[in-house]
Amino acid sequence: MKPASLKRQTSSGGVIYRKTEDVVEVALVSVRGGRFWCLPKGIVDKGETPELTAVREVREESGLSGRIVDKLGDITYWYYIRGENSKCRKTVYFYLMEYMGGNTSQHDFEVDEAVWYPIDEALQRVSFRGDRAILEKAVSKLREMGVIV
């Protein structure tokens, strides 16, 4: 059996937030038949900056438009690509985004559902450790900005 080949992939995404009365909400998307909840993200296209990708992917996957407020950081992980016998090292850059418009019902086919959650509930619901770490950074940044008191 031939050894697995190694690939690299760069993605970008965002934590889009809104404040309604006294609650700060963030949008999560569900994937793989609704089994996993995560932050909207996708592959950086050729000629595209990570910032442009984040805005585009959040809009496509959640149906929401936002403007970037700050960079939150990045996560890196490995996954196996079935049928190709290859491992991929994926780096995802994340940005904090203020909600400007749109509706979660307008998400694209790549996700099963897009839902606003109070940020505390989102921290409990999110399925992946890396996404949770990014959400925790978003909470810290929103506190610094005075959005979360």
Q: Has residue 149 got a pLDDT over 90?
A: no
**Largest CA-CA distance found in the chain, in angstroms, rounded:** 59
Distance CA 137, CA 6 (A): 30
64-100 pLDDT, tens digit each? 999 999 999 999 998 888 888 889 999 999 999 999 9
* pLDDT in the model for residue 6: 85
Asked if 102 contacts 63 with a C-beta cutoff of 8 angstroms, the reply is yes
Q: Has residue 1 got a pLDDT over 70?
A: no
Distance CA 14, CA 53 (A): 9
> What is the value of pTM for the model shown?
0.92
* pLDDT in the model for residue 98: 98
Which top CATH class is 5-144?
alpha beta
Three state DSSP letters for the chain: CCCCEEEEEEEEEEEEEEEECCEEEEEEEEECCCCEEECCEEECCCCCCHHHHHHHHHHHHHCEEEEEEEEEEEEEEEEEECCCCEEEEEEEEEEEEEEEEECHHHCCCCCCEEEEEEHHHHHHHCCCHHHHHHHHHHHHHHHHCCCCC
13-60 pLDDT, tens digit each? 999 999 988 899 999 999 988 899 999 999 999 999 999 999 999 999
* pLDDT in the model for residue 41: 96
Beta bridge partners of 65: 101
* pLDDT in the model for residue 2: 59
* pLDDT in the model for residue 80: 85
* pLDDT in the model for residue 146: 93
